[in-house]
Structure 1
Amino acid sequence: MSDLPRTSAPYFPPHRQASEFHGFAAECRRLSPAVLWHLFNRPFSRLRHDAEDRRVAERFRKIEMARRPTSADVCIIGAFSAKNGLSRAARYELDRIAAVHPFATKIDVTDQVGTLSLAAYAAERRDDPPAIVIFLMQPNLIWKHLRNVAPSFLRDSYRICLAVWELPYFPAHWKYIDEVFHEYWTPTSFSAEALRLGSTRDVTVVPHPVKIARSGSQRIARREGAPFKGLAVMDLSTCPDRKNPWAHIEAWQKAFGDHPGATLTMKVRFSRRTAPIRRELLDMIGQSKAITLLEAEMTDAEMVALQEQHDVCLSLHRSEGFGLGICEMLEMGKPAVATAWSGNIEFMARYPHAYPVEYKLVPYRDYLRRYPGYRGHWAEADTDHAARCLRVIAAQWADRSSMNWQVERDRLIA
C-alpha cells in the first residue's frame, strides 16, 4: 500500500466546500413538497401534541414524596429493542439498574410479542403499583405509551425519567413532565443544565455506563494490506444540520483527498424530508472512492463489528447531549476526533486517544426547524484542525509506532 499523504495540504481539492450547503440559498434548494408540508404543518402538529400531553399529564399527576423509596419493587420501561442510539443507551442503563435491582420488572415498549406488555403489567398491578418506576426514554415519547394505561398504575409510585437533551435550552414540548415525574437522570452536565432551566425537579447526572471489551491496546492495530478507515455514525432523519455531515466529508478530503489508503464510512439514516441531504452528500463526494454512505439498520453486535473494523471515529457535530458512538469507540481503544463542545467533551477528557476539535460558536440554523423557540448558538467544527488530527492518527497507524497519545494530542490542541 502506498504511503498516506503527510503534508498539511489536501491531496486534491474537495469537490465542493461544506459552506455551500449552509444558509438561506441552501435551505431553498431543499424545499421539497415533503419539507414544505412539514414546515406548514409543524405548528399545528405541536399544538395537537401539547394538548395530548396536557391531558395525559393531568391523568398521571404525581403525589409528592419527600424521598425516593428504598423498596426493591422496581419497574423499568424503555424502548430496548429499537435499533438506534437512544435504545442502545437505554440497554446500557438497563444493565446497570438490573445489577442493583436483579428482580426488577423490565418492559420493552417496542416489543409487544416477546416481552410483557405495559398494558398487561399495568392492569395486573392496578391495586398494587410498583414502588419505583423508571422510564428509560425521552419524555415526549412516554405519553403515547401511557394513553391506554390506568392512572392507578403510577398512583403511589416514585417516578424517574432518563432524559437527554442536545441543546442548552429547555424544550417547550417537555413542559408538562414536572407534573408527572419526581426525578430526572441525564448523562451529562450539559444536558442537566438544560433540564434545570425548565424543571423544578431534582436532576441527577448519571453518565451512560458504556462498557465494551477492547480488542487490544489503545494503539491502533494496522491490518496488513487494508486502508486506514474512519467511521462517522449519524441519524440524519430529523436534524441533519446538528450532525453536520458536510463537515465530515470536507475534513476527510482535506486530510487525505482521494488517496486510496484512507477511506471514510458514513453510516447514515435519512427520511423522506431529508432526502435532499443525501443528494448533497453524494454531490460532495463526487467520483471519489474514498468516502461511502452506508444505509443499514444494525443490531448491537453488528454495530460493534462495524466499529471494530474501523480505525478512528469522526464526529464533527454541532451539538450532542452525550455522544454515545464517540464513547463506544473510545472504550474500544479507538481514537476519536470530535467537536470540543457539548456533552461529549465531559467524557473525552478521560481518554488519551480522544482528539477534541477546535470550533467557533455560530447562530443556530436548521432548515427543518427541529428546535422551535431556540435562538441560541451551537458549534461549527474547524475542519482544518480536524484534518490535522486525522493525519497524525493515520501516521501512527501507518508506522505502527509507539507514539504517546497524550503527548501528541496535547501538542495538537495546545
Structure 2
Amino acid sequence: MKRKMVRFIADHKQKLKKLLPKKLLRTAKLAYLKQLMAKYQKEPIHPAEYQKKEAGVNLIGDIRAEIGLGQSMRLLANELELSKIPFGIYNFQLDGNVRRGDHSFEHRMREDYPYRVNLFHVNPQEVGLAYLYLNKDIWRDRYNIAFWLWELEEFPQEYQEAIKFFNEIWTPSEFASSSIRKVTDKPVYTLPYYVTAGKDENCGRADFGLPEDKFLYLIMYDTNSTMARKNPVGALDAYKKAFPVEDEHVGLVIKMNNPKQEDLEVLREQTKGYQNVYLIAEVLDKPKVNSLIAAVDVFVSLHRAEGFGLVMAEAMLLDTVCVATDWSSNTEFMDADSACMVSFRKVEIQETSGNYKKGYRWAEPDVEEAAGYMRRLYEDPAYYDRLAKSGKAKINEVLGAQTIAAMLKERLAPILQAAGDAQADRA
C-alpha cells in the first residue's frame, strides 16, 4: 500500500504541487526518505558480491528528457562510449511534465542490469522513489554511484539521507563536490562533462525569426531551474543599461524552456518598449539549440549559482563569447582571458526559491559591470574576436573528449578490475 501511495504521488506530482503547500510536500518526502533509510539500515545492501557480475556500467536515469538533466545524462553516456567501457542504459523517469523526444541512445537501452556498477543519474530528492520503483534487487550486490549536480556551497540537510544509498558520489564540478564533501566521509569525485556542440548546419537566424543585421545577445534558461537562480532579469537589466531603447543595431534573444505564465508576464513587463527583443518559448532539439547559440554573438549568464554551466561551455565551443558571473562551477572552465567575468557580492538568499533556502548564500552579479562588457563586445571587434578564439581553445583544452574519457576510465578501472578482472584494460 505504501509503495502504491508513493507511486501515486510521484505520478501526480505536478497536480499535487498546485493543490498542496510546497512545505507539506517537502516534509512528506523527507519523512518518507528517512523511513526508507531506517529500513535500508536494517537490511543493508553491500557490494560484497559485485565482483562476480560482468565488468561494466548500468547507467540509470531519464535519458530521453529534453531538459538539462537529460542532456547531462547523455553526456555521461557519451563519455562511457569514448572510454570504451561496456555499459547499458535503463530509462528511469518520474516527472511527466517533460518532453522526452531525444532518442540518440536507443541503441544502448536495456531492461536488465548485467553490470557490476550502477551509475544513477537521479536527483537526491528522488532517490527514495528510485529505490522503490527500481526494487532493491537492482541495488543489491553492485557498486552504486550517484551523479549529482548542486549549485550552492551548502548541501541541503534533506538531501543528505540520500548519500547513504551509495558507495560514492560523482559531480561534474569541484565546486559541487566540495559542497557534498562537507557532509559525508564517502568518496566524492569530480568528473567534468565532455562538452560537444553538434548543430544543424542548415539552421540559421532566419529559422528562429531573428534579424541578420543586428548584434545579438542571448539569455537562455529552463524555468524548472528557477528564475531566481538563473537571474534572467539581471541579464535583461544589464542589456537595458548597455543600450538605449531606440538602438536598432542590437537585439536580445530570450530562449525559455517550460515557461510559466508568471515568468512570461515578468519578462513582458521588463521588455516593454523594446522592439528588438525576441522571445523563443518552444522546446527545441539539441542540434537546434546549438544552432541558436551559434547564430547569436554573445551569451549572457548573470546566474547567482551554477552546478556546472553547460550552456556557457557549449557557447564558448561554438565561438560565441560569454558574459558570465565570476562565481561557482563555471569558473573551472572560463576565466578573464576566455570570457567576460562579471564581479559579484556574496549575499544571503532572502526568500526560499525552489531548492534554494532562505539563509543560504549565492552571488549577486554586478549589473553595471555586465552592461559595460556587453557594450564593449559590440564596440570592440578585436576584443570580441580574441575572447571568441581563446574561449574555444579553453574548452577544447579542459573539457575535450580524450581528457574527460581518460578521467572516467581512471576512476572506474579499480572497480571494474576487481577480483583480477582486466576488461577495462582490454577495452
- TM interval, shorter chain, is 0.7 to 0.9
2:80 and 2:199 mapped to 1: Cα distance?
23
Q: Report 1:4-403 matches (<5 A).
A: 41-57=21-37, 58-59=39-40, 61-63=44-46, 72-110=55-93, 120-121=111-112, 130-212=115-197, 225-237=212-224, 239-258=226-245, 259-270=247-258, 272=260, 275-349=261-335, 352-366=337-351, 368=353, 370-372=355-357, 374-397=358-381
**Cα gap change, 1:149 to 1:244, in 2 (>3 Å):** closer
**Cα gap change, 1:118 to 1:52, in 2 (>3 Å):** farther
| 8 Å Cα contact 1:229/1:312 also seen in 2 | yes
1:74 partner SS? strand
1:227 and 1:296 mapped to 2: Cα distance?
22
1:301 and 1:265 mapped to 2: Cα distance?
18
Q: In angstroms, what is the RMSD of aligned CA positions?
A: 3.6
> What letter corresponds to residue 230 of structure 1 in structure 2?
Y
1:241 and 1:66 mapped to 2: Cα distance?
46
Runs of 4+ aligned structure 1 residues displaced above 4 Å come to 37-40, 64-71, 110-120, 213-216, 400-403, 406-409
Q: % of aligned pairs identical? A: 23
* Deviation at residue 271 of structure 1 after TM alignment: 5.5
| 8 Å Cα contact 1:69/1:158 also seen in 2 | no
> What letter corresponds to residue 232 of structure 1 in structure 2?
I
* Deviation at residue 380 of structure 1 after TM alignment: 1.1
1:332 and 1:164 mapped to 2: Cα distance?
24
Deviations 1:264-290 (A, max 9, x none): 111123555xx3332122111102112
**Cα gap change, 1:84 to 1:68, in 2 (>3 Å):** farther
Alignment match of 1:405 (pick from 369, 375, 387): 387
| 8 Å Cα contact 2:119/2:147 also seen in 1 | yes
> What letter corresponds to residue 312 of structure 1 in structure 2?
V
Q: Paired residue for 1:30?
A: none
Segments of structure 2 that go 5 or more residues without pairing to the other structure are 1-13, 94-99, 202-209, 392-427
Deviations 1:330-376 (A, max 9, x none): 11121100000111111113x8331110111222123545324x523
| 8 Å Cα contact 1:239/1:366 also seen in 2 | no
2:373 and 2:200 mapped to 1: Cα distance?
23
**Cα gap change, 1:302 to 1:70, in 2 (>3 Å):** same
1:147 partner SS? helix
**Cα gap change, 1:119 to 1:309, in 2 (>3 Å):** closer
Q: Paired residue for 1:17?
A: none
1:155 and 1:228 mapped to 2: Cα distance?
56
1:197 and 1:39 mapped to 2: Cα distance?
36
* Deviation at residue 130 of structure 1 after TM alignment: 2.9
**Cα gap change, 1:119 to 1:100, in 2 (>3 Å):** closer
**Cα gap change, 1:148 to 1:108, in 2 (>3 Å):** closer
1:402 and 1:132 mapped to 2: Cα distance?
45
1:377 and 1:392 mapped to 2: Cα distance?
30
1:132 and 1:79 mapped to 2: Cα distance?
18
2:170 and 2:195 mapped to 1: Cα distance?
16
| 8 Å Cα contact 2:230/2:303 also seen in 1 | yes
| 8 Å Cα contact 1:255/1:387 also seen in 2 | yes
> What letter corresponds to residue 315 of structure 2 in structure 1?
M
Structure 1 range deviating more: 203-212 or 147-156:
147-156
2:180 partner SS? helix
1:344 partner SS? helix
> What letter corresponds to residue 266 of structure 2 in structure 1?
E
> What letter corresponds to residue 334 of structure 1 in structure 2?
T
| 8 Å Cα contact 1:248/1:315 also seen in 2 | yes
* Deviation at residue 318 of structure 1 after TM alignment: 0.8
> What letter corresponds to residue 378 of structure 1 in structure 2?
W
> What letter corresponds to residue 283 of structure 2 in structure 1?
E
TM-score by length of 1: 0.76
| 8 Å Cα contact 2:338/2:388 also seen in 1 | yes
Structure 1 range deviating more: 308-317 or 65-74:
65-74
Deviations 1:294-346 (A, max 9, x none): 21112111111111111111000111111111111011121100000111111
Higher helix share: 2
| 8 Å Cα contact 2:153/2:178 also seen in 1 | yes
1:338 and 1:66 mapped to 2: Cα distance?
47
1:94 and 1:407 mapped to 2: Cα distance?
28
> What letter corresponds to residue 145 of structure 2 in structure 1?
I
Query: What count of residue pairs does the alignment treat as equivalent?
Result: 356
Higher RCO (Cα < 8 Å, 6 or more apart)? 1
Q: Paired residue for 1:5?
A: none
TM-score by length of 2: 0.74
| 8 Å Cα contact 2:57/2:87 also seen in 1 | yes
| 8 Å Cα contact 1:243/1:319 also seen in 2 | yes
1:319 partner SS? coil
Segments of structure 1 that go 5 or more residues without pairing to the other structure are 1-33, 217-222, 410-414
* Deviation at residue 293 of structure 1 after TM alignment: 2.4
